[in-house]
Copies of this chain bind each other. A is one copy, B any other.
């Protein structure tokens, strides 16, 4: 396997080298998993010697955490920057979902790191932190929808904080699952994934807003 960025160049500025290493690391971790990825492989893919990886990133664990952070930040940023807070809630949610699926489709290795590889100890905490940021953001979007409904129908959705949190968890979980599935399913576009989930979610949210709940028995 040859290096990520083409021909091996010597004496690059530290920042550039670091990015090359992280690129190689995300690719390797995403495809192999944390344990199965070897520092040898990462260094070779990055086109540098192993000691240099250690010089810059200190250890395999730190390198992996750095990858988690970089990828989570990028994903969050992609979603955030796609959402215009001036628009109505449904359009905000749509935009967010579409951006999410687009980003995960374009960065399958990064998404694999976040969604699969980062969830075992000793990284679960770090990954959960990152994930919670996303969930919190989604919860905000749901909150916006609730307030809109409130104003429009003059009825308070009475969604407890825990309900919103649960919904956000479900939504993100559904999105994660769909994204993984979409990455494995040829011909599945980000638009399709987003539409599927939006259809699924919007009605359910609407119902909840109108306090029309399904109940067993």
Bound CA–CA A36/B173 (angstroms)? 25
A58 an interface residue at 8 Å Cβ cutoff?
no
CB-CB < 8 A to A81: which residues of B? none
In the complex, chain A residues 27-60 whose Cβ is within 8 Å of any chain B Cβ: 31-36
**Binary contact readout A196-217 vs B (1 if CB under 8 angstroms, 0 otherwise):** 1111111111111000111110
Q: Across the interface, do A196 and B94 meet the contact criterion of CB distance under 8 Å?
A: no
- For A97, the closest partner residue in chain B by CB is B216
For the complex, give the distance between the alpha carbons of A193 and B90 in Å.
24
For A195, the chain B residues whose CB sits under 8 A away are 215-216
Cα of A151 to Cα of B35 in the assembled complex, Å: 53
B208 touches A181 (CB 8 A): no
Q: Given A166-B178, A214-B203, decide whether A119 and B121 contact each other with a Cβ distance below 8 A.
A: no
A169-B181, A203-B207, A203-B212 known; 10 new pairs, CB 8 Å cut-off, are A31-B120, A35-B35, A116-B120, A162-B185, A169-B177, A172-B177, A198-B216, A199-B207, A202-B214, A203-B214
Q: Could you show 20 A-B contacts with beta carbons less than 8 Å apart?
A: A33-B120, A35-B36, A91-B216, A94-B214, A116-B116, A128-B184, A162-B185, A166-B178, A166-B192, A167-B196, A169-B174, A173-B178, A174-B174, A176-B177, A200-B201, A200-B204, A202-B204, A203-B204, A203-B207, A203-B208
**Chain A residues with a Cβ under 8 A of chain B:** 31-36, 90-91, 94, 98, 116-117, 119-121, 128, 162-163, 165-167, 169-178, 180-181, 184-185, 188, 192-193, 195-208, 212-216
